[in-house]
Structure 1
Amino acid sequence: MAAWDGAGDLADMEPELTAAGKRDFRKITALLEEPVRAGQRPPAKPVWHCSIRLAPEDRDRVFSDATWGHMAREMLTEAGLATGVDDPGLRWVVVRHNDDHVHIVATLVREDGRTNWARNDYPKCVKATYNVARRYGLRRHVPPADRTAHRRPHPVEVSKARRQGRAGTPRDELRRRVRAAVAAASNEREFFERLRETGALVRLRYSSTNPNQVTGYAVALPGAHTGTGQPVWFGGGRLAADLTLPKLRQRWGKTSTQSQAPSATPQARAEALRVAADLAQSAAEKIQRSIHTDPGGAQATATAAADLLTSLARTREGDRRGALHRAAEVFDRAARDVHGRTRPPTSRAYELGAMARLVALMGRISGDEDAYAALRLVLKMAKLADALEQLRVAQQRLHQAEAARLAAATLRAIAGGTRPPVAPPLTPTATPGPTVDNARRASRGR
């Protein structure tokens, strides 16, 4: 349906039918591979492939071959893979197998002999496809990446967890424990104490120039070990970009006082939860006012609010990963800054952080009064999630906007006693493969 500039008549490129009724692809294959054979040190795997597919709700629309060709060319041009006739770029073709999708195949050696390694091709193609869908009035099925998702488990980790009968991978479990310890701590020393209380193994990394200076940390889950019986360690940055020790120090700010265990009576817990609910309400209003005037302050407030919800989930459900834990994880996804950045805490963020620590230290909810106050806090956190959704929509970070919307719906369902829209998976699932092939540089033995 389409091909690179200079390919000639598309009808001449169509594979011919042989006497046996099969297609003869030798001619089109030779045309695509010509630059590879003449290239300067071509890659070992020179073929790049992707598919463009309509969303289910758009499949009643039937596009002509020319329209599909235009859409594919626009996507490839925006992704930097298709070039004009004056630029000796890659050779590529668009093939249509059905009404709802097309395939694109390219060879990664340019006409001038140089290799295009297609680095960062997946996020570029996702963004380009999103823009093409907007121009053609289609559902924008996959928003552009916003660099806020945490590191997902490797398929090997998922398979191992399934074989061992675990409900999740050690990486995910450690991330939850680290986030709970961060929410309950006001400084570095307290963080490591809280982390060890969760049962995690903790290993500190010291400076090579100053043996007394801690520069990082790693955590491991008891019972999760390598084939030689050694613990499987994860540094904070391997759990999530915002969990490195330097970023946690910035997140805590200048607070250095040790948190003291407060009174743990149901009445005291109820009063603390009522105060927390009022703070969540004012934080939601603050975020709505700061969407355009102070996005940095709104971000710091959102981060502290995620800590508060994390502490509430642990206070309400303990170690059981119930619906509130899942809502806290989705809210945390919506509250993260791009590239793991950490904003300096504001006065509102300090207040929410202090309340998160207080809720974490007061112990499990055990009475009617504090349970009612906890539900009121859940409702206020739903309103805060609504405000966070507005902030992310204004920032065009649509993955996070969707996460905030889902968190708000889940929190309201929990408060109303109905089935929440998100629930913890009973078994780990494998990480889905990318739509676009990696096509990275092949190793040359160096």
Structure 2
Amino acid sequence: MIASIGGGSSTMGLLKYLFGPGQHNEHNDPHIVGSWDGFAPDPGREPDVTFTQLRDALDLRVVQAGERAPKEHVWHCSVRAASTDRLLSDDEWNRIAQRIVVAAGVAPEGDPDGCRWIAVRHADDHIHILATLVRGNLTQPRIRGDWGRVESELTLIENELGLLSLAHTRTKDRHSGPKRPTRAELRKAERRNLPQTPRETLRTAVRQSLAGAATEEEFLRRLAEHGIRTSTRRAPSGDALGYKFALPGDRNAKNAPVWFSGSKLDPDLSLPKIRARLAAGAAEPVYPDPNEYTWPASGRHQASTTIDHALATLADDQSDDRAAATISGSIEILDALAATSPVLSRKEIAQAARAFDRTGLTHTRAAKTDLRAMRSAARAVLNAGPAVGRAEDGTAAATILSSLVLLAVVIAKWHTARGHEYQAQAANAAADHLRTAYTRHAAKPMAVLDLHGQRLPQSAQDRQVAAIRQALPAAEATKLLNENGWNAFAATLAEAEAAGHDPAVLLAQAAGRRELASADSATAVLNWRIRRDAGLPTTPAVAKPSTRTGAARIRTTATGRTVAMPVNPAAQPRPSAPPTPLTRRR
């Protein structure tokens, strides 16, 4: 069973909805199945009873309390059975409603001063409970934490009535991530012909402004550049207590900006959580080539290396704090990647980032060192600027996306092992979006590499097979050699060998970062890692010779050391400035 709890200020408004036809005439035979005393007037079954009579009965104590009554005096809880559950009777729903109001603290068992409430059924599979939050002694009930208590009670109800158990979804981190859009927000977006609700758009803009930001001032500056309005809530001392944000053009019925506090957008965007991220820091990115056109690819390669290191770290140490840092940092990398990616993959990456939002560990403090490394990677991607569709950008995108797919799969398995089914499903959904984005970038270069691999002389193919069997355990080597991507991978190994590398050493380094059992395609993961680590150029059929011929090669020796290899100066363009490492700030 699934419960949803909300509130409001109009008893009459909610009654009209509960007993009305519904937005699409979906309500059938609305009637009361339970109430505070068992004798509440029922306009659904008693023709002479009006909504006003029922409203007056429910609001009696609210009126008596006068100014002491809470402004939001309506408590509303819907309880829905699973589609596979048997049909429950009205008496069963009545007993369920009684247990829910007791668990929530609305009407404690045996308390004559409990709040007044009714349970309305207008469909076979769910009920709505409406309560007014003033007790018989004109005080307010203590309902803080009602959601957790209600969900615990639902677990007991499911077991006792033989219903589908959703206990596995009720972990302490079940409600991590942002709330789903409300029905009113969805209707507003539909009226305005918007692809998503303004709150979702605003949340994405705030998250992308935070990704890799080094200071609070930089975060606020980025928001201003996005056109986001920001207001600070301050204590009497002048200290900031929190931020609220508004999307330009999003206004309410009074033509005033629609403000959202950070925590309402996403639990991770409260001021304490924002400052905890910023406190981890982010290193200033360094791009080896002074040509700014190469920086997007360089930033993506740097980030993919960090992700691969995080995978290895998570394999060795699966503690909650390290997992929290990896997940939190991954979201920032995805936000940075979505903000700088071409239209080809931008939407899928953004959707993966939002799915990743729901994989976090809300109650766990992230390991600071690990979080700093991931945030630095996000900063390297964002500060490099947008990818403009050059061949190097596409292969770099395929490299980082292959790493992110593997990371999403590993995080899903991490959650599954701990019974976090909700987060595991979100991680798998993120992996699906990332696979789609990866395919769009990788299809063309992989096809070219596959063709090159097919044309390799038999002697060259034999050398690569020998290198694989030398570097990897027998089972992994056999699996690798039987994968569909073998030809493309053989082409990459041959290209690395021609550039002066030892393929066996490269393989051992690339495969040693993380066991590849979780990868969809081990050859694809290793292919992009080796091309990145060896500094191999874009595949010849799609490369622009003038952009990569001057790249310094890196030679991997049999000892595992890397040394710079000189290239023919006449074959490379003369740089306008010495090729020293540069930093870029935005």
TM-score w.r.t. length of structure 2: 0.53
For the residue of structure 1 that corresponds to 2:371, the secondary structure is: helix
Q: What is the match of residue 409 of structure 2?
A: 386
Letter in 1 for 2:381: V
Q: In structure 2, what is the Cα distance between the partners aligned to 1:23 and 1:159?
A: 33
**Which segments of 5 or more consecutive residues in structure 1 lack a partner in the other structure?**
419-446
Check the 8 A contact 2:169/2:422 in 1, yes or no.
yes
In structure 2, the CA distance between the partners of 1:49 and 1:244, relative to structure 1 (3 Å rule), is closer
Q: In structure 2, what is the Cα distance between the partners aligned to 1:327 and 1:273?
A: 17
Alignment of 1:130-149 (within 5 A): 130-134=155-159, 136-140=162-166, 143-144=169-170, 146-149=174-177
In structure 2, the CA distance between the partners of 1:166 and 1:66, relative to structure 1 (3 Å rule), is closer
Q: In structure 2, what is the Cα distance between the partners aligned to 1:171 and 1:313?
A: 18
In structure 2, the CA distance between the partners of 1:109 and 1:182, relative to structure 1 (3 Å rule), is closer
Q: CA deviation at 1:337?
A: 2.1
Letter in 2 for 1:273: R
Q: What is the match of residue 357 of structure 1?
A: 379
For the residue of structure 1 that corresponds to 2:178, the secondary structure is: coil
Letter in 2 for 1:247: K
Q: CA deviation at 1:140?
A: 2.5
Equivalent residue in structure 1 for 2:351, among 323, 326, 343:
326
Letter in 1 for 2:83: P
Check the 8 A contact 2:250/2:257 in 1, yes or no.
yes
For the residue of structure 2 that corresponds to 1:184, the secondary structure is: coil
Q: In structure 1, what is the Cα distance between the partners aligned to 2:420 and 2:149?
A: 15
String of CA shifts for 1:278-305, please: whole Å, max 9, x gaps: 43234234345544xx312321221111
* 1:408 to 2:434 alignment: no
RMSD (Å) for aligned C-alpha atoms? 5.1
Check the 8 A contact 1:130/1:142 in 2, yes or no.
no
Check the 8 A contact 1:335/1:388 in 2, yes or no.
no
For the residue of structure 2 that corresponds to 1:148, the secondary structure is: coil
In structure 2, the CA distance between the partners of 1:108 and 1:86, relative to structure 1 (3 Å rule), is closer
Higher helix share: 2
Check the 8 A contact 2:34/2:120 in 1, yes or no.
no
Letter in 2 for 1:389: A
Q: What is the match of residue 81 of structure 2?
A: 54
Q: CA deviation at 1:377?
A: 2.1
Letter in 1 for 2:304: A
String of CA shifts for 1:102-138, please: whole Å, max 9, x gaps: 6667787778887647555455434432443355241
Question: Greater shift after overlay, 79-88 or 350-359?
Answer: 79-88
Alignment of 1:295-310 (within 5 A): 295-310=320-335
In structure 2, the CA distance between the partners of 1:53 and 1:141, relative to structure 1 (3 Å rule), is farther
Alignment of 1:160-175 (within 5 A): 164-175=192-203
Q: In structure 1, what is the Cα distance between the partners aligned to 2:120 and 2:249?
A: 50
Check the 8 A contact 1:250/1:344 in 2, yes or no.
no
Letter in 1 for 2:276: Q
Q: What is the match of residue 209 of structure 2?
A: 181
Q: What is the match of residue 190 of structure 1?
A: 218
TM-score w.r.t. length of structure 1: 0.66
* 1:376 to 2:399 alignment: yes
Equivalent residue in structure 1 for 2:268, among 236, 242, 258:
242
Q: In structure 1, what is the Cα distance between the partners aligned to 2:138 and 2:117?
A: 15
For the residue of structure 1 that corresponds to 2:403, the secondary structure is: helix
In structure 2, the CA distance between the partners of 1:326 and 1:69, relative to structure 1 (3 Å rule), is same
Q: CA deviation at 1:356?
A: 0.9
Alignment of 1:43-82 (within 5 A): 52-58=79-85, 61-62=86-87, 71=96, 74-80=99-105
Q: CA deviation at 1:158?
A: 5.9
* 1:281 to 2:308 alignment: yes
* 1:348 to 2:370 alignment: yes
Q: In structure 2, what is the Cα distance between the partners aligned to 1:226 and 1:241?
A: 24
Check the 8 A contact 2:168/2:420 in 1, yes or no.
no
String of CA shifts for 1:331-354, please: whole Å, max 9, x gaps: 12323624xx8x354322222111
Q: In structure 1, what is the Cα distance between the partners aligned to 2:245 and 2:40?
A: 57
String of CA shifts for 1:372-406, please: whole Å, max 9, x gaps: 33223223222322333344456665543332222
In structure 2, the CA distance between the partners of 1:227 and 1:258, relative to structure 1 (3 Å rule), is farther
Bigger RCO of structures 1 and 2 (CA < 8 A, at least 6 apart): 1
For the residue of structure 2 that corresponds to 1:364, the secondary structure is: coil
Letter in 1 for 2:335: T
Letter in 2 for 1:276: A
Q: CA deviation at 1:251?
A: 0.9
Check the 8 A contact 1:306/1:335 in 2, yes or no.
no
Q: In structure 1, what is the Cα distance between the partners aligned to 2:241 and 2:117?
A: 48
Letter in 1 for 2:308: Q
Identity across matched positions, percent: 30
Larger Rg: 1 or 2? 2
Q: In structure 2, what is the Cα distance between the partners aligned to 1:72 and 1:201?
A: 43
In structure 2, the CA distance between the partners of 1:262 and 1:184, relative to structure 1 (3 Å rule), is farther
Q: In structure 2, what is the Cα distance between the partners aligned to 1:261 and 1:206?
A: 40
Q: In structure 1, what is the Cα distance between the partners aligned to 2:314 and 2:153?
A: 31
In structure 2, the CA distance between the partners of 1:384 and 1:401, relative to structure 1 (3 Å rule), is same
In structure 2, the CA distance between the partners of 1:174 and 1:66, relative to structure 1 (3 Å rule), is closer
In structure 2, the CA distance between the partners of 1:219 and 1:109, relative to structure 1 (3 Å rule), is closer
Alignment of 1:151-230 (within 5 A): 164-201=192-229, 219-224=245-250
